[in-house]
Amino acid sequence: MTPKVMQYLNKNVLVSIPALFEDGACRAHKLLGAEPHGLWLQSEELIERLMPADRQGGAPVMAAVFVPFAQIAGVMVVAERATAPPLAANENRKPSAGQNIRTKDKNKGNLPATSNAAKRKK
């Protein structure tokens, strides 16, 4: 499933911008917006890289920076794993397809059943 960029609005995303940072490594930037031709990002690293030297060193400035997609090598978002909500005390959750337990195995303490081929060898 492809994530929708706007769901990460006002969150940190990892963006590689080789034109600004020669190593090409992804850096964390706050996503402020997305337009058809690029992203609006905010981070101290972007400001330090783009702000003229005579303007740096004063009060901290948090400016928005527009980065065209042509300058972006990649965007990485960290998706959190979906977790099931906790069960109430009287609820039983059905096992998923990969966790099916046969009825006769339940009585044996969930031990794996021996296959017919293994039984014949004994």
Q: Tell me, what CATH number does 9's domain have?
A: 2.30.30
Q: Does residue 114 lie within any of the structural domains?
A: no
Is there a domain that residue 113 lies in?
no
CB 13 within 8 A of CB 40: no
CB 40 within 8 A of CB 65: yes
Residue 89 counted as domain residue: no
pLDDT reported for residue 117: 54
Confidence of residue 93 (pLDDT cuts 50, 70, 90): low
Mean pLDDT for the stretch of residues 11-34 = 95
120 inside domain:
no
pLDDT at 53: 74
- What's the Cα-to-Cα distance from 100 to each of 83, 84, 85, 106, 108, rounded to whole Å? 19, 17, 20, 11, 15
Is the Cβ–Cβ distance between 33 and 9 less than 8 Å? Answer: yes
Inform me whether the pLDDT recorded for 113 exceeds 60: no
What pLDDT was estimated at residue 51? 84
- Residue 69: phi and psi, rounded to 5, are -55, -30
pLDDT given for residue 106 in this prediction = 45
Question: Between residues 2 and 28, which one has the greater pLDDT?
Answer: 28
Which are the contacts of 31, defined by CB distance < 8 A and separation ≥ 6? 5, 8, 9, 10, 11, 12, 13, 39, 40, 41
- pLDDT at res. 105: 47
pLDDT of the residue at 72: 96
Domain contains 87: no
52: domain range?
5-76
- pLDDT by residue (tens digit) across 29-88? 999 999 999 999 999 999 889 887 776 666 566 789 999 999 999 999 887 665 555 555
Is 21 inside any structural domain? Answer: yes
How many separate domains does the chain show? 1
The answer as to whether 109 is a domain residue is: no
Q: With respect to residue 15, please indicate whether it lies within any of the assigned structural domains.
A: yes
Q: Kindly report whether the global pTM for this prediction surpasses the value 0.95.
A: no
